[in-house]
Amino acid sequence: MIIDVHSHVPPREAPGAAGARINTLSRPDKAVDWTAGPDRYLAAMQAVDRAICFNIAGDPRPGARGDWRVRARQVNDDTARFVRENGAKFIGFMTLHPFEPDALEELERSRGDLGLRGIKFGPNYQHFDPLCAEAMRLYRRAEELGLPVLFHTGTSPEQFAELDWAHPRHIDHVAIAHPELRIILAHMSHPWQRDCIAVIRKHPHVYADVSALFYRPWSWYDCMRLATEWSVLPKLLFGSDYPAATPQETIDGLRAVNDIPRQTGLPSVPEQEVEQIITRDSLSLLGLA
């Protein structure tokens, strides 16, 4: 069983060449089409048995930076419709913005009416301090209801996405305040993988996903060796960050982690533990089985 804990719900249909949003900054080795349609998503997901999918709402406040304004309600309706139309393989997570006045009501609606089973936050993209009171009340309710929370952590090419709010050290405080909350730190907080490891090793219910890492081969190898030395390989969950990468590319990238030691004699990452990341039962760990 292979479970992808990190994928982005595709638009209802691909917008065509004119409306495509091609990002050449996400990956050093190829451009990413963030507007790829559902056919490509579904084809890519044939490599996995289950997939968690989501998108995030923009900052609703007047004068907010950037042009990302879509409201949580609309994103959640889209995610729920995608899951409804494409079957039980997919598990939708909701988005919330702590500064939307009805954020708590939207949490209840998304869980109860829409059947969404976790929450994705991107504090840097959504321009909120992950420790603000408005966000903390959402984590409290998520802990009460057993909804796992996935945070974008790590850098981003977006100019106005606040780096500090994507740092994993803040999530240590969230986990201390909410020790039963299941948390995933996306991308092992690249390039702060060391700091991510410091957080996940001390909290039994805080994990990291390995998405969007393999295409930087040295830092990928380096963080997997760090994870080996710090005994946190069992805290790493499989994820692709589709469309940034497909699950198959990510599986191949995981299995290539020892290319550098094979060429150099540097210490390797235990192959068996690499395979365990690919087949880990993340849904049980997150309380979603």
**What residue has token string 């309380």?**
287
- Residues whose CB is less than 8 angstroms from the CB of residue 147 and which lie 6 or more positions away in sequence, other chains included: 107, 111, 117, 118, 119, 141
Residue type, 178: H
- Which residue, 54 or 139, has its beta carbon nearer to Zn ion? 54
For 200, the token pair is: 């996940």
> Closer to Zn ion at the Cβ: 78 or 241?
241
Residues 137-156 that bind Zn ion (CB under 5 A): none
Following CA atoms 231, 246, 190, 23 in sequence, which dihedral angle do they give, to the nearest 10 degrees? 180
DSSP string for residues in 109-174: HHHHTT----EEE-HHHHT--TTSHHHHHHHHHHHHHT--EEE--S--S-TTS-SGGG-THHHHHH
Smallest separation, CB 166 to Zn ion (Å):
12
Give the residue among 179, 243, 233, 187 at the shortest CA–CA distance from 206: 179
Minimum CB distance to Zn ion smaller for 26 or for 86? 26
Q: Which is nearer to Zn ion, 143 or 241 (CB)?
A: 241
Contacting Zn ion within 205-264 (CB under 5 A)? 241
Least distance between Zn ion and beta carbon 218 (Å)? 22
Torsion, Cα 246 166 14 96, to 10 degrees, reads: 120
CB of 240 to Zn ion, least distance (A): 9
Beta-bridge mates of residue 3: 50
**Which 55-74 positions form the footprint of Zn ion (CB under 5 A)?**
none
- Using the minimum distance from each CB to Zn ion, give the nearer residue, 150 or 232: 150
Helix (H, G, I), strand (E, B) or coil at 23: strand
Q: Which is nearer to Zn ion, 93 or 139 (CB)?
A: 93
Q: Which is nearer to Zn ion, 242 or 269 (CB)?
A: 242
DSSP at 11:
P
Secondary structure (3-state) at 51: strand
Distance CA 239, CA 44 (A): 13
CB of 105 to Zn ion, least distance (A): 26
Question: What whole-number distance in Å separates Cα of residue 161 and Cα of residue 157?
Answer: 8
Closest CA to 189 of 209, 204, 173, 203: 209
- Chain residue whose CB lies nearest Zn ion: 241
The site that binds Zn ion (CB under 5 A) totals a number of residues, namely: 1
> 154 or 260, CB closer to Zn ion?
154
Report d(CA 35, CA 12) in Å as an integer.
Answer: 10
Supply the minimum distance, in Å, between the C-beta of residue 206 and Zn ion: 18
Residues that bind Zn ion (CB under 5 A): 241
